[in-house]
């Protein structure tokens, strides 16, 4: 192992961190919104909405993310200019569609875990459905949603590495470039691994912190 | 967008079928490896020997903290070059090691879910630790493990697509090449998606069957 080379490539790879994080944050933002919509659709009394959400989940959870990214990047542009995205946007679209299918399950299971008496009581108070959901059900379900939600977030962070395959130059892509150019593999891979490990470890701590915040006080 | 061209799928199918078989073989071998590692690491984590517990904890922390893609790079560019592994062997190693960390947590949770009275009763019957684990604890823990084990296997199957990045011609990679060479990305990638959907749906069906088989008779 060449320590000097390791120290040289470390900052170079770290430059990709910004790209990795922006992939991650945009994905989290959009997939949370889409996941919430899909979860509410799944619980809706309107049959086509329920169906749509169920089929969406089955489709998205049934194929590899990599295939989805290829689809967004290579196949969607065939449908017209409106569907032609830059590599970065393609990656965000693919990661969002994929992560949302997992987030919607996390959110749905949180919502149905709230005791039925709560919605009955809100009915008795003549609250509208959306009012109930916003003020009574969702706030109570957050406690159940938080652990799988952050678990999905950690997965999303790791999966931003796939964006390299559709030519986004995030940390993994930069590392591949260094390996191809220098024929030295251990040093750049070790640097990359250390950065990912630091990131996921921070998220795991955030997860247990959140769980502590949301724990029921007794 | 032109009309959906079924003929191109028919003509590409021999190549895609071959690649599907590669994906399935990669999945099967990685699952075997992940299960062995998972059981071993789970038992180490529950061991009385502190060094083993610590080692297993570090294993899970590292391999769950890294993207599978990065682990594959390590397996291919580093271990693979040292030991002259083919990309197929490197992919088994990388996916097995990565999925093994998740499997370990699933098996551990299953073991911990067994009521401690069972262990105490086995102790009272003078069973050795290995005996009680094999005959009393694991058979009961399996019921808890099955749903998570199978959904983890489904994730592993989807992760086999990553092997394309280290040059293995599995279904996703082969489809991408075909999409390029035929200029029909929509058809080819959709066909690949259908193959994945069928195979993952089979796994989900298997999960339902197993859960029914191992359900507590009431």
Cα–Cα distance, B58 to A50 (Å, whole number): 42
The answer to whether B77 contacts A58, with C-beta atoms less than 8 Å apart, is no
pLDDT grade for A208, boundaries at 50, 70 and 90: confident
Residue B215 at interface with chain A, using a CB cutoff of 8 Å: no
The answer to whether B190 contacts A75, with C-beta atoms less than 8 Å apart, is yes
Q: Which residue has the higher pLDDT, B42 or B130?
A: B42
Cβ pairs A/B, distance under 8 A? 110
Task: Give the model confidence (pLDDT) of A69-99 as tens digits.
Answer: 999 999 988 888 888 889 999 999 999 999 9
Give the residue carrying structure tokens 């997860």.
Answer: A207
Task: Give the model confidence (pLDDT) of B62-101 as tens digits.
Answer: 999 999 999 999 999 999 988 999 999 999 999 999 999 9
Handedness of CA B140, B145, B149, B151 (dihedral sign): positive
Angle at B95 between CA B90 and CA B97, to 5 degrees: 95
CA distances from B97 to B17, B23, B156 (A): 27, 17, 11
Cα–Cα distance, B96 to B110 (Å, whole number): 20
Cα–Cα distance, B51 to B193 (Å, whole number): 45
Find, in chain B, the residue whose alpha carbon is nearest to that of A180: B77
Decide if A77 contacts B206 (C-beta within 8 A): no
Residues in chain A with CB shorter than 8 Å from the CB of B189 are 67, 70-71, 74-75
Overall size of chain A counted in residues: 218
Task: Give the model confidence (pLDDT) of B38-54 as tens digits.
Answer: 999 999 999 989 999 99
Q: Which residue has the higher pLDDT, B213 or A48?
A: A48
Mutate to test the interface with A, among B75, B77, B81 (most CBs of A within 10 A): B77
Alpha helices (H) along chain B: 6-45, 50-65, 68-73, 80-82, 87-113, 116-124, 129-132, 138-159, 171-182, 185-214
Q: What is the DSSP letter of B128?
A: -
Residue B181 at interface with chain A, using a CB cutoff of 8 Å: no
> Measuring CA to CA, which residue among B205, B175, B193, B165 is closest to residue A63?
B193
Whether B114 shows a pLDDT value over 60: the answer reads yes
Decide if B30 contacts B91 (C-beta within 8 A): yes
State the average pLDDT over residues B12-16.
90
3-class secondary-structure state, position B84: coil
pLDDT grade for A116, boundaries at 50, 70 and 90: confident
Residues in chain B with CB shorter than 8 Å from the CB of A162 are 67, 69, 162
pLDDT grade for B36, boundaries at 50, 70 and 90: very high
What is the per-residue pLDDT for B217?
Answer: 67
Mutate to test the interface with B, among A27, A70, A190 (most CBs of B within 10 A): A70
Q: Which residue has the higher pLDDT, B2 or A51?
A: A51
Residues in chain B with CB shorter than 8 Å from the CB of A13 are none
What is the per-residue pLDDT for B116?
Answer: 87
Decide if A171 contacts A16 (C-beta within 8 A): yes
Residue B160 at interface with chain A, using a CB cutoff of 8 Å: yes
Decide if A67 contacts B189 (C-beta within 8 A): yes
pLDDT grade for A156, boundaries at 50, 70 and 90: very high
State the average pLDDT over residues B118-131.
90
Distance from CA of A210 to the nearest CA of B (A): 19
What CA dihedral angle connects B94, B97, B102 and B106, to 10 degrees? 140
Cα–Cα distance, B124 to B144 (Å, whole number): 25
Two structure tokens written together for A78: 């065939």
Cα–Cα distance, A34 to B188 (Å, whole number): 27
Cα–Cα distance, B58 to B53 (Å, whole number): 9
Residue B159 at interface with chain A, using a CB cutoff of 8 Å: yes
> Measuring CA to CA, which residue among A143, A118, A115 is closest to residue A129?
A118
Mean pLDDT of chain B, nearest integer: 92
Distance from CA of B129 to the nearest CA of A (A): 32
What is the per-residue pLDDT for A207?
Answer: 86
Distance from CA of A175 to the nearest CA of B (A): 10
Cα–Cα distance, A68 to A211 (Å, whole number): 32
Cα–Cα distance, A170 to B67 (Å, whole number): 13
Question: What's the ipTM?
Answer: 0.89
Cα–Cα distance, B51 to A101 (Å, whole number): 40
What is the per-residue pLDDT for A215?
Answer: 76
Cα–Cα distance, A205 to A195 (Å, whole number): 16
Whether B2 shows a pLDDT value over 60: the answer reads no
State the average pLDDT over residues A19-44.
96
Residue B196 at interface with chain A, using a CB cutoff of 8 Å: yes
pLDDT grade for B192, boundaries at 50, 70 and 90: very high
What is the per-residue pLDDT for B218?
Answer: 59
């Amino acid at each position: 192992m060449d320590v000097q080379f390791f120290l040289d490539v470390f900052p170079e790879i770290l430059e990709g961190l910004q790209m990795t994080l922006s992939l991650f944050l945009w994905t989290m933002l959009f997939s949370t919104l889409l996941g919430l919509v899909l979860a509410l659709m799944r619980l809706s009394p309107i049959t086509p909405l329920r169906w749509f959400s169920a089929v969406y989940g089955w489709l998205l959870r049934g194929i590899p993310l990599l295939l989805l990214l290829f689809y967004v990047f290579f196949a969607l542009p065939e449908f017209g200019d409106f569907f032609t995205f830059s590599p970065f946007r393609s990656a965000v679209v693919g990661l969002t569609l994929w992560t949302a299918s997992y987030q919607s399950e996390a959110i749905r299971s949180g919502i149905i875990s709230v005791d039925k008496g709560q919605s009955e009581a809100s009915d008795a108070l003549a609250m509208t459905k959306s009012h109930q959901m916003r003020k009574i059900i969702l706030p109570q379900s957050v406690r159940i949603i938080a652990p799988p939600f952050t678990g999905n977030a950690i997965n999303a962070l790791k999966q931003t590495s796939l964006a390299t395959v559709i030519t986004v130059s995030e940390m993994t892509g930069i590392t591949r470039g260094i390996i191809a150019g220098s024929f030295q593999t251990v040093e750049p891979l070790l640097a990359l691994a250390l950065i990912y490990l630091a990131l996921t470890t921070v998220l795991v701590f955030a997860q247990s912190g959140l769980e502590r915040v949301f724990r029921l006080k007794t | 967008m032109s009309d959906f061209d079924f003929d191109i799928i028919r003509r590409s199918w021999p190549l895609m079928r071959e690649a599907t078989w590669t994906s399935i073989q990669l999945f099967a071998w990685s699952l075997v490896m992940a299960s062995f590692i998972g059981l071993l690491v789970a038992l180490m984590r529950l061991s009385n020997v502190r060094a083993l517990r610590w080692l297993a904890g570090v294993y899970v922390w590292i391999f769950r903290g890294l993207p599978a893609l990065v682990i594959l790079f390590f397996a291919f560019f580093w271990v693979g070059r040292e030991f002259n592994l083919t990309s197929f062997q490197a992919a088994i190693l990388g996916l097995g090691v990565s999925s093994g960390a998740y499997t370990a947590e699933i098996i551990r949770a299953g073991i911990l879910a067994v009521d401690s009275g069972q262990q105490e009763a086995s102790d009272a019957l003078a069973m050795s630790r290995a005996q009680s684990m094999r005959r009393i604890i694991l058979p009961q823990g399996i019921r808890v493990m099955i749903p998570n084990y199978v959904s983890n296997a489904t994730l592993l199957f989807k992760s086999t697509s990553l092997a394309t990045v280290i040059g293995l011609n599995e279904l996703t990679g082969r489809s991408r090449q075909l999409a390029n060479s035929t200029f029909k990305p929509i058809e080819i990638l959709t066909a690949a998606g259908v193959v994945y959907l069928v195979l993952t749906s089979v796994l989900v069906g298997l999960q339902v069957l197993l859960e029914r088989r191992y359900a507590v008779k009431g």
